[in-house]
């Protein structure tokens, strides 16, 4: 399936993608979260207001329910994010092992603060609660890949290798 990050893709493409996915699950509100995950991955790592409306119409799920889901789960975003999302754990076990220093290294390397996206649209840096990898703290998820035992000095190399894979 197309992706809105594909060359030449337009906003209409994103809406069409969302409508096609959501229409497959009409009257299946139990599928709302997986549908939103799939759409988010294909529509710029976010579910913006116009996309949420299309999902509501196609699935026949109240828009208010969709807004509730999008605001409750931290993995969803309603504003556009980068192609790669770095989510650094900030919960106590990771914090004790130096997560703040790692976060500052990411911020310096990317030139952004946590919660922001690089101007080239490549990276979004976020903090999050425990990701279940406390035994390798400090830990981060880069999209769906876990990175553990992070240290500030390896952040630059990690960003370089992620850029090479884009
Ligand atoms: S506290 Fe950071 S992964 Fe659990």
Per-residue pLDDT tens over the stretch 7-65: 556 778 889 999 999 999 999 999 999 999 999 988 888 999 999 999 999 999 999 99
22 ligand 1 Cβ < 6 A: no
| Final residue of a structural domain among 22, 51, 72 | 72
CB-count burial class (<10 Å; 0-12, 13-18, 19+) for 153: exposed
| Residue 92 Cα: closest atom of ligand 1 | 1
Q: Are residues 58 and 91 in the same domain?
A: no
Q: What is the CATH number of the domain that holds 94?
A: 3.40.30.10
State the pLDDT at residue 10. Answer: 72
90 ligand 1 Cβ < 6 A: no
DSSP per-residue codes, 115-156: T-B-TTS-EEEEEES--S-GGG-S-EEETTEEE-S--GGGHH
Q: Which domain holds residue 113?
A: 84-165
Q: Are residues 90 and 68 in the same domain?
A: no
Q: CA-CA distance, 55 to 66, in Å (whole number)? A: 8
Q: How far is CA 24 from the centre of its chain?
A: 23
Q: How far is CA 48 from the centre of its chain?
A: 13
127 ligand 1 Cβ < 6 A: no
Q: What is the reported pTM?
A: 0.81
93 ligand 1 Cβ < 6 A: yes
Q: Are residues 65 and 34 in the same domain?
A: yes
């Amino acid at each position: 399936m197309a992706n809105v990050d594909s060359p030449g893709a337009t906003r209409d493409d994103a809406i069409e993608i969302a409508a096609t996915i959501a229409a497959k699950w009409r009257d299946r509100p139990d599928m709302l979260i997986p549908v939103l995950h799939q759409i988010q991955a294909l529509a710029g790592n976010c579910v913006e207001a116009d996309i949420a409306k299309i999902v509501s119409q196609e699935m026949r799920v109240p828009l208010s329910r969709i807004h509730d889901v999008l605001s409750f789960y931290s993995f969803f975003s309603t504003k556009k994010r980068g192609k790669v999302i770095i989510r650094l754990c900030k919960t106590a076990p990771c914090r004790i092992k130096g997560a703040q220093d790692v976060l500052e290294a990411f911020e310096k390397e990317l030139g952004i603060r946590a919660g922001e996206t690089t101007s080239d649209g490549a990276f979004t840096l976020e903090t999050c609660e425990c990701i279940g990898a406390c035994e390798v703290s400090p830990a981060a998820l880069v999209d769906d890949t876990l990175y553990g035992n992070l240290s500030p000095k390896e952040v630059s190399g990690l960003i370089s290798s992620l850029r090479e894979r884009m």
